[in-house]
Amino acid sequence: MENNTKYNLSNRRYVLISAIIVVTIVFIIRLFYLQVIDSDYKAKANNNAFLNKTLYPSRGLIYDRNGKLLVFNQPAYDVMLIMREIQPFDTTDFCNILGITKDIFVKRIEEIKNRKLNPGYSSYVPQTFMNQLSEKEYGALQEKLYKFPGFYIQNTTIRKYEFPYAAHVLGSVGEVNRKDMEEDSYYVRGDNSGRTGVERSYETVLRGEKGVEILLRDAHGRIKGRYEEGIHDVSPVSGKSLTLSIDMDLQAYGEELMQNKLGAIVMIEPTTGEVLCMVSSPTFDPGILVGRQRGKNHKLLETDPNNPLYGRAYMAAYPPGSTFKPAQGLVFLQEGVINSQTLYTCAHGYPFRNGKPACHWHPSPTNLVGAIATSCNAYFCWGLRDLLDSRKRYPNVQEAFEVWKNHIVSMGYGYRLGIDLPGENRGFIPSSKTYDKPYKKRWNSSTIISIAIGQGEIQTTPLQICNLATTIANRGYFITPHVVKEVQDTPMDTLYTNKRYTSVEKRHYDLTAEGMRMAVVAGTCRGAALPDIEVCGKTGTVENPGGKDHSAFMGFAPYDKPQVAISVFIQNAGFGATYAVPIGKLMLEKYLKGTISEESQYTEQYIKNAVITPTNVY
């Protein structure tokens, strides 16, 4: 009996010890969960004693190639709130100060609490109620802020644009969305980030690093000053500044010439790949997409039928027309289809099965230099026929066409060049498979002859056309075009410094450049001639099934040691020589000479006064 009693006491002791151990483990696990895993509890505990106030860094500045300040920061004020600290207050007074309705107030509170719209929401963590208050709104709210417990004002900055130009290059800054916050923990609701242009492509460089100021609270939640005199504060790190390759004076001049026109101008420094100007028309003042009116103004731009938000210089793809002929000639030379002495006949066109493409009068037969100078359609049609249909070189048309395509792609067509701007269009260069399916592999040069003169399925951007001019100017290579010349304290990516050689030998480029020089001396580009400067050029009249033809021009100057390459593309403007060539001449003169001569001022006025839109050309 005594043994049983001792046994029971011993068991009870073990049970009691086990229960204590279990309870202790449960408490430890719960404590670990609350202090380590449950961030909401941690935030609640911290917020009872501290207010962590985010310090936003100054966004990096943006300069042009000549040191002109283009984009800087100006003070702005955001209304912040901590949801758990809100107490009953006069919402009517609050809404009147901010110029909003009660419905908007309620909606914003609901959006803040919605974890789908606001990932990571906590009622203990500061949230953005409204951003970018005006000076007047800030002053009025600051005066009465004590009446609205839970709300406070946070200093920040917004962008300021010094000039009303280069909107598609500079881009804009706007509020982040849910996707941004999910992809990058740097952002919280109410933050801003680059949405377009270099503001977007260089966002991580421009934005800098946030800091934090830790403020101490008393038992009633009132701010009593900085915690431990600020030794735990983290200072923000300002974003790095950018120096663009853009010449803002040249950019402004190009935008003036392109007013009331749809199209683009691109100018590149051949030896560096730096974009000197990139005009997309129509355009807009980048300053209207700043502040509280950003959303309203953006909607107005979205509904404009001419789509000024569309960066035609690198987003739009068009048939290149006759500006493509120098590329064709280079392929023919490389493949041994022609040489400098090869002559083709042009009886005002090339014989098709169902007629012939028109070609203006010029001496016939002609060689490659003459064909480029006079923009002979027939010459390049004959050349494509001899490349694709002759079985002396390749066993079938498909293999021959792939050789052609690969040469063209090496010149920068068919894929994105890689410019440091978001949204670049790749254009389109067909492959043999493009034609094998619809024609059941039974096709030849006559089936697709329109590509010989830059029509048909070929699609290129004005940027790619300018890049071809750059490649010819450099006699066989290009550097990836880029609009940022320098990032503060950061080496440039090798993509924007390394030479990219084409598959065509250097010696063939001299003959092509000669043809483009002759086009200005005695051919279709005579309107691009400048005194004392050897300009090389190529016109393009691009067939447009939807209306009047497009006017195009590409070129470079001087002939030896080129300093600049250019492309001009004007929608619905007719012959290349009518509008694109004179615009090209004016832009070259502005850049190379710094001023427009008295002789060219008549042309300048004629261009500025011209109104060319789809509504008045059909």
Tell whether 616 is covered by a domain: no
CA distance 552 to 576: 5
CA distance 102 to 93: 10
Tell whether 44 is covered by a domain: no
Verify that 339 and 437 share a domain, yes or no.
Answer: yes
Mean pLDDT of 304-325: 96
Q: Which of 200, 224, 244 is the last residue of a domain?
A: 244
Instruction: Compute how many other C-beta atoms are within 10 angstroms of the C-beta atom of residue 468.
Output: 27
CA distance 153 to 166: 33
CA distance 172 to 301: 13
Angle at 408 between CA 404 and CA 409, to 5 degrees: 115
Tell whether 78 is covered by a domain: yes
Verify that 235 and 253 share a domain, yes or no.
Answer: no
pLDDT tens, residue by residue, 82-133: 888 888 999 999 999 888 899 999 999 998 888 888 887 888 778 889 888 8
Tell whether 491 is covered by a domain: yes
Tell whether 91 is covered by a domain: yes
CA distance 582 to 584: 5
pLDDT tens, residue by residue, 393-408: 899 999 999 999 999 9
Residues sharing a CB contact under 8 Å with residue 77, sequence separation 6 or more, in sequence order: 132, 133, 137, 138, 153, 154, 155, 156
Verify that 350 and 320 share a domain, yes or no.
Answer: yes
Residues 70, 162 contacting (CB under 8 angstroms): yes
Residue 358: predicted pLDDT: 63
What does residue 328 show for φ and ψ, rounded to 5 degrees? -60, -45
Verify that 564 and 474 share a domain, yes or no.
Answer: yes
Q: Residue 618 pLDDT more than 50? A: no
Instruction: Compute how many other C-beta atoms are within 10 angstroms of the C-beta atom of residue 597.
Output: 12
Verify that 252 and 148 share a domain, yes or no.
Answer: no
Verify that 502 and 584 share a domain, yes or no.
Answer: yes
Q: Residue 595 pLDDT more than 70? A: yes
Mean pLDDT of 62-87: 92
Verify that 24 and 80 share a domain, yes or no.
Answer: no
Angle at 575 between CA 357 and CA 275, to 5 degrees: 115
Per the listing, tokens 């447009």 go with 544
| pLDDT-above-90 percentage for the chain | 68
The amino acid sitting at 252 is A
pLDDT tens, residue by residue, 411-432: 999 999 999 999 999 999 999 9
Residue 8: predicted pLDDT: 61
What does residue 500 show for φ and ψ, rounded to 5 degrees? -115, 110
| Rg value, the chain, Cα | 33
CA distance 71 to 60: 9
pLDDT tens, residue by residue, 223-245: 666 776 668 888 899 999 999 99
Verify that 216 and 358 share a domain, yes or no.
Answer: no
Verify that 289 and 173 share a domain, yes or no.
Answer: no
pLDDT tens, residue by residue, 139-180: 888 888 888 988 988 888 889 999 999 999 999 999 899 899
Q: pTM score, two decimals?
A: 0.86
Residue 170: predicted pLDDT: 98
Structural domain of 10:
2-38
Residue 617: predicted pLDDT: 39
Q: Which two tokens stand for residue 274?
A: 């730096």
Which helix (H) or strand (E) segment holds residue 120: the answer is: none
Shortest CA distance to 363 belongs to which of 521, 522, 578, 512?
A: 522
Tell whether 615 is covered by a domain: no
Verify that 192 and 330 share a domain, yes or no.
Answer: no
Residues sharing a CB contact under 8 Å with residue 290, sequence separation 6 or more, in sequence order: 158, 159, 160, 161, 172, 173
Higher per-residue pLDDT: 27 or 573: 573
Instruction: Compute how many other C-beta atoms are within 10 angstroms of the C-beta atom of residue 157.
Output: 18
Residue 137: predicted pLDDT: 83
Tell whether 467 is covered by a domain: yes
- Domain count across the chain: 3
The domain that holds 139 is classified in CATH as 3.90.1310.10
Residue 120: predicted pLDDT: 73
- Residue 578: pLDDT band with limits 50, 70, 90: very high
* Alpha-helical segments (H) within 114-152: 135-144
Angle at 219 between CA 213 and CA 224, to 5 degrees: 40
Verify that 495 and 441 share a domain, yes or no.
Answer: yes
Q: What is the bridge-based pairing of β-strands 151-161 and 192-194?
A: unpaired
Tell whether 310 is covered by a domain: no
Residue 220: predicted pLDDT: 55
